Amino acid sequence: MGVGFLAVIAVIVYKVASGKSNDGFEHIAATVALEKNEKILDIEVMNGKLAVLVDQNGAQSLVYIDPVTGKKLGKTVFLAR
């Protein structure tokens, strides 16, 4: 049991001393292109993708973005009836 405890402590010390971070931010897109005149109103994470609520000239829509590539996956436009 003592050897197992020492092994766990050694792994913790190694992780801290190596300075490597596992926060995952190295896989986030640096830029995301939106359409002209789109203003971001809200951003949510949904099933690992970004759901961005945007306003473009008074019309609101949801833009779905892959956070790794920054590519637009789809768009839902809200229409008043």
Domain that residue 12 falls in: 2-77
Q: Which long-range contacts (CB under 8 A, 24 or more apart) does 61-67 make?
A: 63/34, 63/38, 65/29, 65/32, 66/29, 67/28, 67/29
Q: List the chain pLDDT tens, one digit each, 81 residues.
A: 556 656 766 666 666 566 555 556 667 788 888 888 889 999 998 888 899 999 999 899 999 999 888 899 999 999 888
Task: Tell me the C-alpha distance between 50 and 70, whole Å.
Answer: 9
Q: What is the domain count for the chain?
A: 1
